[in-house]
Amino acid sequence: MTTRSQPMVSEPRKALRVYLHLKDRILSGTLASAARMPSEPDLAIEHGVSRVTIRGALERLAEEGLVERRPGSGTYVRAASRSGAIVADFSNVFTHLVEMGRRTDVRLISFGYASPTPAVAEALGLGPGEEVQRSVRVRIADGTPFSYLVTYVPKRIGISYSEADLRSTPLLELLERSGARVASARQTVGATQAGPEIAEALGTETGAALLSITRIVKDEAGAGVEYLYALYRPDLYELQLDLERTKRGSAMRWAAKSPVATGRPANATEPRNPKKTGTGKRKTTR
């Protein structure tokens, strides 16, 4: 009887590790672009995994445009560009998408009234017992879901529009139509791993990295109008900001350039995913 113990790390977990390891090396430039990668058997030995696992990792890198697989020749590192993603400035995502001629759509997952969490109540400056209208939407560009949006609106504003309105009209437009004088917002940007439900809604894997944005929107009087918690697939969507070097006192500092509609970055090439190149226009929510 052999005493070989059960492997501690499952095969999918190993494939993830190998994929992330190779991706790190490509993105950090350790594996030079255009270089031929080691062969699948060599990579399998190096990482102590099966060739099937190596193949899975390389295929995922190829899907993301980080390597190119040339049949009969091998796998080659590509430039570390992420040209397939939607690139927008920090503020006008959907205006920007519509201007780019992308077909966007929304799937309303839930709509209802509830008690806010203390964080939401505090951020929106709600009184005790004040309810919020809570909605969960998935945003779709050219057929591909790329963002998951949870919004909270004070009930007194939320009752001015219906579930049907939210399926067809940007939330901010609904808020302004209801008379809210939207004046300012504070955005916080982070990252998180997808849980199983959000992963499924976004067509990605549990544990995948997502870009997160929390936005607290206020009116002219400083009263809370909307609290947004948004998650984005970073392979499909990135934020962009242009900065200027300016003098403040004796020190040089970065300042945000007044945003204009931004295009793709200078190094953008053809989109990787043909599903994302539609040209129809469609009314959009947020």
Decide if residue 15 touches a second copy (CB under 8 A).
no
CB atoms within 10 A of CB 16: 19
Nearest distance from C-beta of residue 272 to a second copy, angstroms: 15
Please, are residues 97 and 285 in contact by the beta-carbon 8 Å criterion? Answer: no
CA distances, 84 to each of 81, 155, 245, 264 (Å):
9, 39, 29, 10
> Which 239-258 residues touch a second copy, going by CB under 8 A?
239-245, 251-258
Beta carbon nearer to a second copy, 44 or 198: 198
- What is the helix (H) or strand (E) element at residue 151, kind and residue range? strand 144-154
Beta carbon nearer to a second copy, 72 or 236: 236
Decide if residue 266 touches a second copy (CB under 8 A).
yes
Q: What are phi and psi of 36, to 5 degrees?
A: -80, 130
Helix (H, G, I), strand (E, B) or coil at 41: helix
Q: How many residues bind a second copy (CB under 8 A)?
A: 91
- Site pattern 69..88 for a second copy (x: CB under 8 A): ----------xxxx--x-x-
Decide if residue 165 touches a second copy (CB under 8 A).
no
Helix (H, G, I), strand (E, B) or coil at 223: coil
Please, are residues 93 and 246 in contact by the beta-carbon 8 Å criterion? Answer: no
> Which 208-237 residues touch a second copy, going by CB under 8 A?
208-212, 229, 232, 234
Residue position matching structure tokens 């998951």:
148
Q: Which amino acid is at 115?
A: S
Decide if residue 94 touches a second copy (CB under 8 A).
no
Nearest distance from C-beta of residue 122 to a second copy, angstroms: 5
Q: 11-27 vs 51-63: helix axis angle to the nearest 10? A: 50
> Which 170-209 residues touch a second copy, going by CB under 8 A?
172, 176, 182-198, 206-209
Cα gap 146→114, rounded to integer Å: 26
Decide if residue 13 touches a second copy (CB under 8 A).
yes
- Site pattern 44..73 for a second copy (x: CB under 8 A): ------------------------------
Q: Which amino acid is at 34?
A: A
Decide if residue 34 touches a second copy (CB under 8 A).
yes
Beta carbon nearer to a second copy, 72 or 222: 222
